[in-house]
């Protein structure tokens, strides 16, 4: 899965998206901070490949993108909108292929601009990135080739505080950054930074009115943070081999960035530092039980603006959750089954 699969809906309920065989499932709270309902299939009975990208707009709507088989050896992308976690999502709508037709080309990424328009990014067969953008009043613009070369899988799409969409991608020995200059405009490849980023470890977060921050693991195993226009900062050794996830939150009156990652030892590791002040340093603290090797982690804020964390094992569907306690620091409640 690509993107934040734990999200807070427009009605304040937390929900999670997970893959199951040839379908996407959603589980949601029955009410804010309430018990969780059973998994429900998203988007009708369309059979899908085991891949999902999730993006959420300021309106709280979730935009989901996956690949579906079309003909022998060929696939096409599909899109669904989920307006509220306890309601049924729209049926999967075919949105085409970056090369008109062919097999899957990569894992898509989704970002939603300030006008609620989904932007779907995916690697094309030429090794660059293609974009399909939603029109404000329905429908989609034509596919656009954003260029790039030797782009690796797992793109990181993000919406800045300005509402403009940005994209990061890893290439051999470097990172590429695309940015919209104006709302609704074609994202432009603005910068290529030399950095030994490990594929599949990119995560982007809006961190100030003028900047987004990319987190990635370098070839030495260190977690780094980069804002275009500057040099990357080394934060701390990566807790584990997979991607990090991040959320901004208030800790003891300070705007902080909270990081979470499945550690090499199999638990969830957390680290926090003042937002965009990487020089302040950060330290991992592990929490919760031992997790399966395929477990992933996601962060969100609940209806009371408390940081919430979830872990999910794709192979078993086992979902665990915790929330921050109402006390100073980053004390968490006991992890519990959903």
Q: Where are the domains of the chain?
A: 1-104, 105-238, 247-338
Q: What pLDDT, on a 0 to 100 scale, did the predictor assign at position 316?
A: 84
Q: pLDDT for 127-186, tens place per residue?
A: 999 999 999 888 999 999 999 999 998 999 999 999 999 999 999 999 999 999 998 899
The per-residue pLDDT for 6 is 97
pLDDT band for 17, please (50, 70, 90 cuts).
Answer: very high
Which pLDDT value is given to residue 326? 83
Give the domain 105-238 fold: Neuraminidase (2.120.10)
What secondary structure, in 3-state letters, does the chain show? CECCCEEECCCCCEEEEEEECCEEEEEEECCCCCCECCCEECCCCCCCCCCCEEEECCCCCEEEEEEEECCCCCEEEEEEEECCCCCCCCCCEEEECCCCCCCCCCCCEEEECCCCCEEEEEECCCCCEEEEEECCCCCECCCEECCCCCCCCCCEEEECCCCCEEEEEEECCEEEEEECCCCCCCCEEEEEEECCECCCCCEEEEEECCEEEEEEEECCCEEEEECCCCCCEEEEECCCCCCCEEEEEEECCEEEEEEEEECCCCCEEEEEEECCCHHHCCCCEEECCCCCCCCEEEEEECCCCCEEEEEECCCCCCEEEEEECCCCCCCECCCEEC
On the question of pLDDT at 31 being above 90, the answer is: no
pLDDT in tens, 186-245: 999 998 999 999 989 999 999 999 899 999 999 999 999 999 999 999 999 999 998 899
pLDDT > 90: what percent of the chain?
Answer: 87
Average pLDDT, the chain: 95
Confidence (pLDDT) at 165 = 97
Instruction: Give the pLDDT of residue 34.
Output: 80
* pLDDT at residue 329 tops 90: no
**Predicted TM-score of the model (pTM):** 0.96
Residue 32 has pLDDT above 90, yes or no: no
Per-residue pLDDT, 220 = 95
């Amino acid at each position: 899965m690509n993107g934040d699969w734990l999200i807070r809906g427009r009605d304040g309920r937390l929900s999670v998206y997970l893959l199951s065989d040839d379908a996407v499932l959603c589980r949601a709270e029955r009410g804010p901070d309430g018990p969780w309902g059973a998994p429900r299939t998203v988007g009708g009975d369309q059979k899908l490949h085991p891949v999902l990208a999730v993006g959420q707009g300021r309106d709280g709507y979730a935009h989901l993108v996956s690949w579906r088989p079309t003909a022998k050896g060929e696939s096409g992308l599909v899109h669904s909108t989920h307006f509220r976690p306890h309601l049924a999502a729209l049926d999967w709508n075919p949105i085409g292929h970056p090369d008109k037709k062919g097999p899957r080309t990569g894992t898509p990424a989704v970002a939603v601009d300030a006008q609620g328009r989904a932007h779907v990014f995916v690697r094309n067969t030429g090794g660059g990135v293609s974009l399909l953008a939603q029109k404000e009043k329905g429908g989609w613009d034509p596919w656009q080739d954003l260029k790039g070369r030797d782009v690796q899988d797992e793109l990181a799409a993000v919406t800045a505080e300005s509402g403009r969409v940005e994209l990061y991608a890893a290439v051999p020995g470097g990172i590429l950054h695309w940015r919209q200059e104006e709302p609704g405009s074609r994202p432009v490849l603005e910068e290529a930074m030399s950095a030994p980023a490990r594929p599949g470890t990119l995560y982007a977060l809006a961190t100030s009115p003028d900047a987004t921050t990319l987190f990635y693991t370098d070839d030495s195993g260190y977690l780094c943070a980069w804002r275009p226009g500057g040099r990357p900062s080394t934060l701390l050794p990566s807790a584990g081999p997979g991607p990090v996830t991040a959320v901004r939150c208030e800790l003891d009156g300070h705007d902080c960035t909270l990081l979470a990652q499945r550690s090499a030892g199999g638990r969830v590791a957390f680290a926090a530092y003042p937002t965009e002040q990487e020089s302040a340093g950060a330290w991992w603290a592990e929490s919760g039980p031992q997790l399966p090797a395929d477990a992933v982690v996601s962060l969100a804020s609940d209806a009371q603006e408390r940081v919430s964390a979830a872990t999910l094992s794709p192979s078993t569907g086992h979902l665990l959750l915790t929330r921050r306690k109402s006390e100073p620091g980053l004390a968490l409640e006991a992890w519990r089954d959903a």
